[in-house]
Amino acid sequence: MKDLKEQKTEPVQMARSDLLLSLVKASVSGDKNAVRTAVEGIIADEKGKQHRVLAERLTRALHTNGNGTRAMNQMAHDTGIRGREFLAELTPRHQLSDMVLADQTRKTVDQLIEEQQRASLLRSHGLDPRHRIMLVGPPGNGKTSLAEAIAEALAVPFFVIRYEALIGSYLGETANRLKRVFDYVRTTPCVVFFDEFDAVGKERGDTHETGEIKRVVSSLLMHVDELPSYAVIIAASNHAELLDRAVWRRFQLRLPLPAPTEKELAVFFDRHIQNFDGKPGIAPATLAKRLGPISYAEAEEFILDVRRREVLSMLETPLKTIFADQIKAWEDRAKPMGQEESAR
Q: Which CATH superfamily is domain 87-256 in?
A: P-loop containing nucleotide triphosphate hydrolases (3.40.50.300)
Ranked by mean pLDDT, which of 125-129, 145-149, 180-184, 226-230 comes out on top?
Answer: 145-149
pLDDT attached to residue 343 = 44
Burial degree of 199 (CB within 10 A; 0-12, 13-18, 19+): middle
> What pLDDT is stored for residue 198 in this prediction?
75
pLDDT band for position 26 (50/70/90)?
low
What's residue 91's pLDDT?
Answer: 93
pLDDT of residue 23: 72
- By C-alpha distance, which of 331, 258, 330, 270 is closest to 295? 258
In tens, the pLDDT along 78-101 reads: 444 567 788 999 999 999 988 999
Higher pLDDT, 202 or 156: 156
Nearest alpha carbon to residue 236 among 141, 165, 121: 141
Beta-carbon contacts of 7 under 8 Å, excluding residues fewer than 6 positions away, are none
Do 167 and 285 form a contact (C-beta atoms < 8 A)?
no
What is the model's pTM? 0.72
Mean pLDDT of the 285-295 span? 93
pLDDT of 71 higher than 50: no
Sheet bearing 158-161, strands edge to edge: 87-90, 158-161, 190-194, 231-237, 132-136, 253-256
Domain residue ranges of the chain, discontinuous segments joined by +:
2-71, 87-256, 262-336
In 66-105, which ranges are E strands? 87-90
Quickly count: other Cβ atoms within 10 Å of residue 158's Cβ.
24
Indicate the burial class of 254 (C-beta count within 10 angstroms; 0-12, 13-18, 19 or more): middle
Q: What's the pLDDT tens digit per position in 259-268?
A: 999 999 999 9
